Amino acid sequence: EGLIEFYDSFKDMFEFFCKNTTIHGTIRLVCSDGNKMKTAFWTLLLLASFGMLYWQFALMFSQYWAHPVALTMSMHSEPKMFPAITICNLDPYRFDLVSEHLVQLDHMAEEYVMLLYGINTSASLFHVNEKSTQARDSPRSSNLSRSSFKLNPNFYLRRTEPNNRTGKRQSLVGFKLCNATGGNCFYNTYSSGMDAILEWYRFHYMNIMSQQPVIINIADHEEQIEDMVYSCQYDGEPCRPSDYVHFHHPVFGSCYTFNSKGTDSFWTAAKPGAPYGLSLILRAEQKDHIPLLSTVAGVKVMIHNHNQTPFLEHEGFDIRPGIATTISIQQDEVNRLGGNYGRCTTDGSDVNVKLLYNNSYTLQACLHSCFQHIMVRKCGCGYYYYPLPPGAEYCNYNKQPAWGHCFYQLYNRLRNHHLNCFDQCPKPCRESLYKVSAGTARWPSGKSQDWIRQALRHQNGYNSTSNRKDIAKVTIFYKQLNYQSVNESPVLSDNLLLSSMGSQWSLWFGSSVLSVVEMFELLVDTLVLSLLFCYQRLRSRKT
């Protein structure tokens, strides 16, 4: 009895609560008990306030459990590391090991262009230089030419004319693909004949290049950096051999990445502006050009993060020959919350897809790896443009005749988001994005081109005598060292949720947390008093 206050009735308990509680309005239920209309009015008003309060609580909790985020932007200014720069020659290399098959493929393409459009391109388009012709007699190429690989003429180009409801005659060009039993055939068609020829050529090219032994480092068979980069300076200082790494891209050929690791203090950007950036003079000629694999001339440039695989077929921009291009960059940093607030990964270790690239995690690397794993599982071989999983081999229609049928169906499903790769590959929780703006000017000018060519010939062995533009200049620099940071923050955090609940409680009842304790005390007293009344009734029945 010293701990629990007993009441004679529920009415006494309720009157005591209404007169002493800190909840506003409850005393009106007791003071106006002589006026039933007022009592009813205040009762309805209090019940309506309770209803509105808990309706607002329900809205707040539904928003809290939805885990929305808000974006906050901040500006930072400090010296930072120059980004990684990848350059590629838009002139795919003709490897000696497969040169004879590429010559045969060029002749096949020449015949189809003549058949489809009546254009004789043997003199202007499919030029085979002496190096490619002599490659037939080289020991390495003869080993491959005596192999069982042969170009498959069954994958031929043809023109189709589907029914068009508009009545207009629409011609499509493509090639036929069938499964392993010769059934379920479809035409991989394009409304543009140029796109159809390029894709047809690329399809055969992948089969030819799959014959390259994996143990041979393709990059060792390509040109040296001196053959592509005539001049390289950063912050007014000449570049060093340790500043770049060389790799081969299956489409763009020979590529170099400057500042790939981002750990050398030499590449620290202390000042903005063109004089303090990276300046390159590049060769952009078409010496061993494969015209139906790459239809453009120049240099591909991509600005990306350190330790990141450059996917130049999806990003980057082209540098035109005979042009000086200045590129200013502005860095943006994005930080995502992850967890309940959205899917993201810190380093890719928690992703179900086993990455096939050795560099840091990116969304493109995950998507490519996911597709390659599905390709190997469904088609029995790997796509030539992506790295291979352990124990797999690249697709070759001499060994897997139906791989093209399998590949194009899978790729269409990936483009239409019907594969689960986009579900398995989250975005990085932290990434840096680079906004670029470019300007161009003719270079070298008409009056300066003679002495510039002479200087390049004397210093770098530049030996071009043609009138067409075969060199390009590019300068990449920070526009300003300020960078913008975009951070995700919870719209409704735990503290904000409690604060909002307190505000709603104060709005509808003008009370505090102690008022909630008083209501809890009322419930406990009601329960205890009910038990006591039940106990008294049981004793009275027994007696």
Residues 406-427: tens digit of each pLDDT: 999 999 998 888 888 999 999 9
* Per-residue pLDDT band at 129 (split at 50, 70, 90): very low
Lowest mean pLDDT among 26-35, 132-141, 152-161, 523-532: 132-141
Give the strand pairing for 344-345 and 186-190.
unpaired
pLDDT for residue 119 is more than 60: yes
pLDDT for residue 433 is more than 70: yes
* Comparison of pLDDT for 35 and 400, the residue scoring more: 400
| Model pLDDT, residue 124 | 52
By the 8 A CB rule, do 80 and 483 touch? yes
Euclidean distance between CA atoms 366 and 431, whole angstroms: 15
Q: Tell me if the bond preceding 444 is cis, omega within 30° of 0.
A: yes
pLDDT for residue 476 is more than 90: yes
Look up residue 487 and give its two tokens: 């951070």
Euclidean distance between CA atoms 176 and 463, whole angstroms: 45
Average pLDDT over residues 8-20: 79
3-state percent breakdown (helix, strand, coil) of the chain, nearest 5: 40, 20, 40
**Percent of the chain scored above 70 by pLDDT?**
84
- Collapsing DSSP states into helix, strand and coil, what is residue 322? coil
What letter would DSSP give residue 382? Answer: B
| Model pLDDT, residue 66 | 86
Amino acid code (one letter) for 118: G
Tens-digit pLDDT profile for residues 243-293? 888 888 877 777 899 999 988 899 999 889 999 999 998 887 766 567 777
pLDDT for residue 42 is more than 50: yes
* Per-residue pLDDT band at 39 (split at 50, 70, 90): confident
**Percent of the chain scored above 90 by pLDDT?**
19
pTM: 0.78
By the 8 A CB rule, do 486 and 334 touch? yes
Average pLDDT over residues 364-376: 93
| Model pLDDT, residue 6 | 66
pLDDT for residue 56 is more than 70: yes
Look up residue 450 and give its two tokens: 């003679």
- Continuous segment of H or E residues that includes residue 113: helix 99-117
Residues 6 or more apart in contact with residue 139 via CB below 8 angstroms: none
Residues 6 or more apart in contact with residue 532 via CB below 8 angstroms: 6
| Model pLDDT, residue 85 | 94
| Model pLDDT, residue 483 | 86
By the 8 A CB rule, do 331 and 77 touch? no
Q: Please, what is the average pLDDT of the chain? A: 81
| Model pLDDT, residue 301 | 93
* Per-residue pLDDT band at 131 (split at 50, 70, 90): very low
Burial class from Cβ neighbours inside 10 Å (0-12, 13-18, 19+) for residue 17 reads buried
pLDDT for residue 125 is more than 60: no
Average pLDDT over residues 387-405: 89
By the 8 A CB rule, do 83 and 304 touch? yes
Angle at 353 between CA 350 and CA 355, to 5 degrees: 95
* Comparison of pLDDT for 37 and 305, the residue scoring more: 305
Give the strand pairing for 278-283 and 323-335.
unpaired
| Model pLDDT, residue 361 | 92
pLDDT for residue 143 is more than 50: no
Euclidean distance between CA atoms 206 and 397, whole angstroms: 10
pLDDT for residue 329 is more than 90: yes
pLDDT for residue 142 is more than 70: no
Tens-digit pLDDT profile for residues 181-202? 888 888 888 887 788 888 888 8
Q: 403-415 vs 363-379: helix axis angle to the nearest 10?
A: 140
| Model pLDDT, residue 14 | 80
Token look-up 């202390």 returns: 270
| Model pLDDT, residue 146 | 46
pLDDT for residue 135 is more than 50: no
* Per-residue pLDDT band at 139 (split at 50, 70, 90): very low
| Model pLDDT, residue 4 | 52
Give the strand pairing for 323-335 and 482-490.
parallel
Angle at 250 between CA 174 and CA 246, to 5 degrees: 165
| Model pLDDT, residue 370 | 94
* Per-residue pLDDT band at 389 (split at 50, 70, 90): very high
By the 8 A CB rule, do 88 and 249 touch? yes
pLDDT for residue 524 is more than 60: yes
Look up residue 26 and give its two tokens: 């409850």
- Among 89-98, 305-314, 454-463, the range of highest mean pLDDT: 305-314
| Model pLDDT, residue 137 | 44
Q: How many residues does the chain have?
A: 543
Burial 331-345 (b: 16+ CB within 10 A, else e): beebbbebeebeebb
- Continuous segment of H or E residues that includes residue 59: helix 36-66
| Model pLDDT, residue 213 | 61
pLDDT for residue 387 is more than 80: yes
Euclidean distance between CA atoms 382 and 314, whole angstroms: 20
Q: Delineate the domains of the chain, giving CATH numbers in brackets.
A: 10-69+492-541 (no CATH), 80-93+228-488 (2.60.470.10), 96-119+151-163+170-211 (no CATH)
Euclidean distance between CA atoms 305 and 84, whole angstroms: 6
